[in-house]
Amino acid sequence: MTSYGRCRSNLLKFVRERQSVVTDRCQDRSHIVFRYGALLLLTCWLQGWGFSASQPGQEMPALPISPIEQINLLKQQEIAVVQELMKDCPGRLDPQILMARTLYRHGRDSEAVRIWNAILRQHPQRTDVYDLLGIAAFRKGQYEQAIAYWQQALQVNPKLSNVHSSIAKALTALGRQEEAIAAFQKEIEISPASALNYFLLAQQLLQQNQATQAKQYYESAIRLDPKLINAYYGLFQTCSRLQEHEQAQRYLTIFKQLKTQKQRAREESILAFDDLTKTKRDTALTYTLVGRIYLINRMLDKAEAPLREALALCPDRPDYANALAMIYQKSNRPVEALELYETAGRLTPNDPRAFTNIARVATDLNRYDKAEAAWRRVIGLAPQESSGYRELTCLLLQTGKNLPEALELAQQALFLEPTAANYFAHSRACEANGDSAGALDSLERAVDLEPDNQTYRRALDTLRREGIHP
């Protein structure tokens, strides 16, 4: 049991013990009410972690926990989980970086910075840590210090993306516009597909009264991202300065339309979102990262609990369901894995990968009808991908069901992609349908494409021993 698990267990035991004796030890009625109320609050605190203090025959009223209390409890849990990870993986960098990120997000900046600096003393090549320190310094208004951290990152790797733009923002805050322009230009050289960098550079140029150049960069920004709202307003300002009034009005109209759409989306988002929801999502992400680090370190038994907690906090996340399903597969628990893959399929009904997972696990469980339905769904969602046709071919051959269709599916897979795997599937389908010559021809092609594949070679030898020759 983990340290935070033991803590909750002990508190739960305490509540149960005190609940049974409280009235025996307290004669004063008001004292009874006070102590029982305190126990109720403690019970609610425990129930916020999914525990119940009641036992059979003992009903304890449940008091609601406020959102703020739930947020605080989630944060405490999150820290405890990462602390447990650090104990289980001593000396590993990823748990330390995750702890620092978590502390920083909780507003414990000094603790996070202390961890990052300790990491750099041992690993001075970690550019990501320099970047994190730069961000922390920038948010505190320590722009010179932020620039120093980012420059250290560039000394390690001059081609890092987003670092020159971060330096440019700090230079802008310091009023050093010309240097900021140069930094943005360097960033565009490294990351030419970033619309935001073109927009930010255009802003700087416009402030320096370089309207013609600013217009070019604003136009580049909206070519890369047609929904970059503020770029249209920038173009309105720029065209107005250049006396291009017709264009200015056109860009202003687009800006107003996009702004209205964004405002509606923002209002809907606010209605569907709150601080508790955000905290749950942040905590779930941390749990997921903890689970992945355990997996990387081959600690499968430790990975399951945080991934399960992540899915409980955010049951609408198909990636969390898939991550936990993978753990179940590795733990030889295919039934539970299949249930989670089906959950992911319901959440992402247009993702062929979700149904690929369902089909493979269902096949392992000999649930062939479910597997067949899933492969047909894959084909429907990705008709230009050969894998769905090939896998359904193999399934039909395995079950001996609808062999003529299996051959048609194999032919379609080959038409889309003449790979060794598809030739092998076609060979099997030809053989099942009595076309020995076609089976041999496709198998020879598979071996030509992958001469080191022993499965294909053994199958070819078998066909030839059976008296089929080219």
Tens of pLDDT along 7-22? 445 444 444 444 443 3
Please indicate, yes or no, if residue 339 is contained in any of the structural domains. Answer: no
C-alpha to C-alpha distance for 7 and 1, rounded to whole angstroms:
10
129 and 19 assigned to the same domain: no
- 168 and 207 within one domain: yes
Same domain, 79 and 203: yes
State how far the alpha carbon of 99 is from the alpha carbons of 74, 106, 151, in Å. 15, 11, 24
Kindly report, residue by residue over 331-375, the tens digit of the pLDDT: 999 999 999 999 999 999 999 999 999 999 999 999 999 999 999
Written as six digits, the tokens of 163 are: 């670092």
Q: Is the same domain home to 38 and 120?
A: no
Do 157 and 23 have their domain in common? no
Residues 159 and 48 in one domain: no
Q: Are residues 258 and 165 in the same domain?
A: yes
Look at residue 39 and tell me if it is in a domain. Answer: yes
Distance of CA 325 to the CA centre of its chain: 15
Q: Confirm if 54 and 92 have CB atoms less than 8 A apart.
A: no
CATH of the domain at 440: 1.25.40.10
pLDDT at res. 411: 96
Q: Which residues of 52-63 are buried (b: 16+ CB within 10 A; e: fewer)?
A: ebeeeeeebeee
Residue 77 lies in a domain: yes
Cβ–Cβ under 8 Å, residues 385 and 416: yes
What is the C-alpha to C-alpha distance for residues 270 and 152, in angstroms, rounded to an integer? Answer: 39
> Does residue 40 sit in the same domain as residue 103?
no
Tally of structural domains, the chain: 3
Q: Which two tokens stand for residue 33?
A: 């009410």
pLDDT by residue, tens only, the chain of 470 residues: 554 455 445 444 444 444 443 333 333 333 333 333 333 334 444 444 444 444 444 444 445 678 888 999 999 999 999 999 999 999 899 999 999 999 999 999 999 999 999 999 999 999 999 999 999 999 999 999 999 999 999 999 999 999 999 999 999 999 999 999 999 999 999 999 999 999 999 999 999 999 999 999 999 999 999 999 999 999 999 999 999 999 999 999 999 999 988 887 776 555 545 788 899 999 999 999 999 999 999 999 999 999 999 999 999 999 999 999 999 999 999 999 999 999 999 999 999 999 999 999 999 999 999 999 999 999 999 999 999 999 999 999 999 989 999 999 999 999 999 999 999 999 999 999 999 999 999 999 999 999 999 999 999 998 888 765 44
The Cα–Cα gap between 43 and 41 comes to 5
Are 25 and 85 found together in one domain?
no
Residue 341 placed within a domain: no
| 297 occurs within a structural domain | no
- Distance CA(164)–CA(458), nearest Å, equals 57
Strand partners, 58: 55
Query: What are the two backbone dihedrals, phi and then psi, of residue 58, each rounded to the nearest 5 degrees?
Result: -125, 110
Q: Are 257 and 166 found together in one domain?
A: yes
pLDDT at 67: 86
Residue 65 lies in a domain: no
- 210 shares a domain with 93: yes
C-alpha–C-alpha distance, residues 298 and 93, integer Å: 16
Residue 420's closest CA among 396, 397, 395, 452? 452
Residues 20 and 112 in one domain: no
| Segments forming the whole domain that contains residue 436 | 384-470
Asked, for residue 371, whether it belongs to a domain, the answer is: no
Q: Is residue 47 part of a domain?
A: yes
pLDDT of residue 66: 85
